[in-house]
Structure 1
Amino acid sequence: MTPAQHPLLHLLNRTSLVLQIAIGLVAGIALALFLPEAAARVSLLGTVFVSALKAVAPVLVFVLVAASIANHQHGQQTHIKPILMLYLIGTFSAALIAVAASYAFPSSLTLVSNSAELSPPGGISEVLKTLLLNVVDNPINALLKGNFIGILAWAIALGFAFRHASPSSKEMLADLSNGVTSIVKLVIRLAPLGVFGLVAATLAESGMSALLDYLHLLLILVGCMLFVALVSNPAIVYFKTRRNPYPLVLTCLRESGLTAFFTRSSAANIPVNLQLCERLGLHKETYSVSIPLGATINMAGAAITITVLTLAAVHTLGIAVDLPTALLLSLLASISACGASGVAGGSLLLIPLACSLFGIPNDVAMQVVAVGFIIGIVQDSAETALNSSTDVLFTAAACLADKPRS
C-alpha cells in the first residue's frame, strides 16, 4: 500500500481543511478544560505551526510577487489601485466606527502603577520615517526579519527588472514560485494540529479570568470589530460589486479569519490568504501583490484598537473631546495603523502617539498600553482576524467588480 493509498491520508484529503481546523479547535478547548497540564505540553504544536508559517511567508511573498510582475503580459488586467482605495476607506471607516462606539459606550480604565519598559514612536513623522527605512532595507535583512515593506519593494523592483529578461529566466522564476507554493500548501495542511496546540496551550496558561476587570473595554473593542466585519465591510463590498456581499464575507471570515484568530499574525496568515484567493479564482497577478500589501497597510482592527483605547484614557482623565478632534483622531489612527506592522509591538505601541493629540503624558499613555497587553489575548486575536480576512475580502471585491453577473 502506497502512502497515497493509506486510509487515513485518503480521509484527510477528502475532508475539508476548515472542518479539520474546527475539529482541532474543539479538541484543543476540551483538552484545556479537562487536562490542562497535558494542554500546556502540546503548545509545541502551535509554536511549530506559527514558526513554519512565518518562515515560508517572506520567501513566498518575495518569489511570488517578483514572478508575477516578471511574467505579467501587457494587456492583462490588475486591480491594485481600487484595492488600495478599499484598504484606505475600510481602515478610516473602522476608526470612525470606533469613535462613535466610544462616545456611545464610554470606557474607564483602572490604570496600572507600573507600565512596561517599551519604546513607542515619538510622532507620526517617526512612523513614516520607519516605513521609509523599511522600504530601502537590505533584501537579505528584510527576509530575515520579516520586513514585508522591504520585501515588497525588492520583489517589485526585481520583477520589473526581470520583465526584460530572457524567457528562460522568467520561466525559472515561475518554477521557483510554483515550488515555494507547494511547500506552503504542505505547511497549511498542518493547520489543524497547529490550531489544536495554540488553543489548548492558550486556554490552559491564561484562561479568561484576567479579562474580567476589563470586560467592558473588551466588549467595545470586539463589538466594533464585529460591526466592521459584518456591517461596514459588507456595505463597502456591496457598493463596489453591487452584489450580495455576505457569501464572500462569511467565506473570508471562516477560511482566513479563523486561522488568523489563533496565529495572531497577519504575516503568518499570508500563505493562507494566497491559497484562499486561488480557490476563489481571483487574478494571480493581483492577489500576489495585494495580499502581502494588505498585511502591511490594511489595518482596520489596529485603527479600532488605537482609537478605543485612546478615548478610554481620555474619558478616564475627564478630557473633553469635540467633533473636529475626534475626526482628527480617526485620521491619525488610520495613518498610524498603516504603519503598525513596521513598529515593534504592533498597534498597542501606537497608542501613545494618539494620546499625544490630547496632551496625555507618555507615562500615562504607556499604562494604557499595559492595559492593552492584559486584554491582548482576545483583542489581538480579533484584530488580526479582521485585518487578515479583510485583505482577501477587498481583493475579491475588486476582482469581482469587473466580472459580469451570471
Structure 2
Amino acid sequence: MEKKTFKLGLLPKLIIAIILGILIGQFLPIWFCRIIVTASSIFSTFLKFIIPLMILAYVTMGIADLKSGAGKLLLITVALAYGSTLIFGSASYLVSSTLFPSFMSQGALEQIAATAGNSLDSYLSLSIPPLLDTLSAVVLAFVLGLCLSNLRGRTIGNTLYDGIKDFSGIIDQVLHSVIIPLLPLYICGTFIDMTKSGKTFAILGILWKVFLVVIAMHLICICIQFLLAGFISKKNPLTLIKNQIPGYATALGTQSSAATIPVNLQCAAADGVSEQIRNFVVPLCANIHMAGSMITITACATAVCLMNQLPISLGTVIPFIMTLGIAMVASPGAPGGSIMTALPFLYMIFGAEAGDPNGPICAIMVALYITQDSFGTACNVSGDNAIGVIVEAIYRKFIVKKDAVTA
C-alpha cells in the first residue's frame, strides 16, 4: 500500500510567502533582501513574456471549443454566463467603492503615499521582449478561435486546431511547472520590497476587511443565482444550494473550475438536470462563467486604486469587465489563471504606468487575488450549476415544446 504524500496547496504556500516576505523585509539586511527581489524581478520579466502566449493559447482554444453543442443551447448558455459575469462584476465595484473608503483612513493612505519611491533595486535586470503585445494576442486569438469554430470539420482547420491544442498544452505545462510554483517567490519578493519601503503594515491593516467583504459578495452572488434558478425552474432554491455543497467544497480545495467538473456534474444530477444538458453546460461554463473571479478581481482593483490614490470610476470598470469577461475564457484550468489573464488588462483601470504587469501595483493585485482565489472559483462553479438548472428549464419549456409542435 502506497503512502499518501502530503502536498501543500497553493494558497498555504502564498500565505507562507507573504509571512516570510514580511519577516525577511523586517529583520534581514538589505543585501539579502535585494537577492530575493532580484529573483522576483527576473520571474516577473519572464511572466511578462509568457502572458501574451497564454492569452493566445487559452482564448483561441476556448472560443474554438465553443463549437461543441447545439446552437440554441450554446447561445443561451453563453449569454447567461457572460451576463452573470458582467452583472456581478459591476455590482462588485459598486459595493467596493461604497464600503472600502470607510476602511481606508486618510492617515493610512498618506502613509502609503509617503513610501512611494522607496523600492529596493535588484542586482540584475533582464530584457525579454514579448513576441506579441497583449492587444495583438487578444485580436489574433479571437480571429483564430472564431475561424476554427466555424471551419473545423467542414472545410479546413483541423490541422491548425490540433496545433493550437498542442500549443495550449505547452503553455499549460509552463503554467503548472514554472509560473504557479514560482508565484510564492514572486509574492515573497513583493512583500519584502513593501516591508522595506514601509508599505506592508499600512496595507495589511486594510486587507482583512477587504477579504471579508469579497467573501460576503461571493456568498450573496451564489444565493441570488440559485434563487433565480429556483424561480425559473420551480425548484426549491435551498435544496439547490444544499446539492451544491460538494462542488463548492471541492473547488475550495482544488482552486480549479476544470478540476471540479466531475463533482459538479454529480451536483447537477442531484438538481435534476438531464444528462444531455449537464454534460453540455457544466464543462462549458467551467471555462466561460467567471462571476466569482470577476467579483474578486474588481474588488481587489478597487482596493488597490484607493490604496494608491488612483482614479477609478464605473466608466473605466465596465469596459474592463466586458473585455476580461471574454479574455478569461478557458483560464480557470489552473489556480491563479484568471488573475494571470487579467494582468495585461489592468492598465484599463490603473493607467499605463501603474498598470504595468511587471510593476509592484500589479504584484499587489496578484497577492490580493490569490489569497481569495479558491472562494472565487467556488463561486464560479456554483453559478455553473445555477445556469445549468436555468438552461434545463428553458430547454424543456421552449425548445422541446416548440420542436414537438413543429414535428
CA shift in 2, pair 1:218/1:352, >3 Å = farther
1:5-404 matches, within 5 Å, as 42-44=5-7, 79-106=73-100, 113=119, 122-123=133-134, 126-130=137-141, 136-138=161-163, 141=166, 144=169, 214-231=207-224, 233-238=225-230, 240-241=232-233, 243-252=235-244, 254-338=245-329, 340-341=331-332, 345-349=336-340, 350-361=342-353, 362-363=355-356, 366-376=359-369, 378-401=371-394
Paired residue type of 2:309: G
Distance 1:104 1:402, change over 3 A: same
1:50 corresponds in structure 2 to none
**1:266–1:363 CA distance, 2 compared to 1 (3 A):** same
Please name the residue that 1:173 is paired with.
none
User: How far, CA to CA, are the matches of 1:43 and 1:265 in structure 2?
Assistant: 19
Q: In structure 2, how many angstroms separate the alpha carbons of the residues matched to 1:275 and 1:106?
A: 38
CA change 1:302–1:398 in 2 (3 A) is: same
TM superposition score normalised by structure 1: 0.55
Structure 2's unaligned 5+ residue stretches are 11-64, 149-160, 173-200, 398-407
Please identify, of 393-402 and 379-388, the stretch whose mean Cα deviation from structure 2 is larger: 393-402
**Once the 2 structures are TM-superposed, how far is the Cα of residue 239 of structure 1 from its aligned partner?**
5.6
Deviation track 1:2-27 (CA, whole Å, cap 9, x = no partner) reads: xxxxxxxxxxxxxxxxxxxxxxxxxx
TM-superposed CA distance for 1:247, in Å, is 2.0
Q: CA deviation at 1:363?
A: 4.0
How far 1:90 moved relative to its partner?
1.0
String of CA shifts for 1:332-356, please: whole Å, max 9, x gaps: 3433333634899512221441333
Match of 1:270, as an amino acid?
I
Give the Cα–Cα distance (whole angstroms) in 2 for the partners of residues 269 and 300 of structure 1: 16
Counterparts in 2 of 1:387 and 1:368: CA distance versus 1, 3 Å? farther
Q: Kindly state the Cα deviation for residue 143 of structure 1 after the two structures are TM-superposed.
A: 8.7
CA distance in 1 between partners of 2:287 and 2:143 (Å): 13
Contact 1:257 1:388 in 2 (8 A): yes
**CA 1:140–1:359 in structure 2 vs 1: closer, same or farther (change >3 Å)?**
closer
Cα gap change, 1:143 to 1:386, in 2 (>3 Å): same
Shift of 1:99: 0.8
Alpha-carbon distance in structure 2 between the residues aligned to 1:96 and 1:242: 28
Instruction: Please state whether the residue corresponding to 2:328 is helix, strand or coil.
Output: helix
- For residues 193-226 of structure 1, give each alpha carbon's deviation from its aligned partner in whole angstroms, at most 9, with x where no partner exists: xxxxxxxxxxxxxxxx997762122223222212
Query: Which residue of the partner structure matches residue 38 of structure 1?
Result: none
Q: Over residues 158-215 of structure 1, what are the superposed CA-to-partner deviations in whole Å (9 max), with x where a residue is unaligned?
A: xxxxxxxxxxxxxxxxxxxxxxxxxxxxxxxxxxxxxxxxxxxxxxxxxxx9977621
Q: Give 5+ residue unaligned stretches, structure 1.
A: 1-40, 48-64, 148-208
The TM-score, its normalising length taken from structure 2, stands at: 0.55
Question: Which AA in structure 1 matches 2:243?
Answer: T
**TM-fit CA distance, 1:270:** 1.3
Contact 1:266 1:295 in 2 (8 A): yes
- 1:124 CA drift (Å): 5.1
Q: What's the CA shift string for 1:57-76, capped at 9, x where partnerless?
A: xxxxxxxx9xx97xx9xxxx
User: How far apart, in 1, do the equivalents of 2:212 and 2:347 lie?
Assistant: 21
Q: Provide the rounded CA distance (Å) in 2 between the counterparts of 1:138 and 1:120.
A: 18
In the TM superposition, what is the alpha-carbon distance from 1:104 to its structure 2 partner?
A: 0.9
- Give the distance between the partners of 2:270 and 2:167, measured in 1 at CA: 29
Q: Whole-Å Cα distance in 1 between the matches of residues 99 and 221 of structure 2?
A: 17
Shift of 1:229: 1.3
Secondary structure in 1 matching 2:251: helix
CA distance in 2, matches of 1:306, 1:376: 6
| CA-CA distance at 1:389 after TM superposition | 1.8
CA contact (8 A) 1:222 1:382 kept: yes
C-alpha distance in structure 1 between counterparts of 2:378 and 2:282, whole Å: 14
Distance, in Å, in 1 between the alignment partners of 2:237 and 2:78 is: 19
8 Å Cα contact 2:255-2:334 kept in structure 1: no
Q: Give aligned pairs, total.
A: 277
Q: Cα deviations across residues 91-135 of structure 1 (Å, max 9, x unaligned)?
A: 111111111122112266869947999989954553353466576
Identity of aligned residues (%): 24
Paired residue type of 1:348? I
**Aligned-pair CA distance for 1:234:** 3.0
Q: Is the 8 A contact 2:255 2:377 kept in 1?
A: yes
Letter in 1 for 2:239: P
Q: Which residue of structure 2 lines up, in the alignment, with residue 23 of structure 1?
A: none
CA change 1:343–1:250 in 2 (3 A) is: closer
Q: CA RMSD in A?
A: 4.3
From the superposition, tell whether residues 212 and 377 of structure 1 become closer, same or farther in structure 2 (CA, over 3 Å). Answer: farther
Letter in structure 1 aligned against 2:163: N
Change (3 A) 1:251 1:366: farther
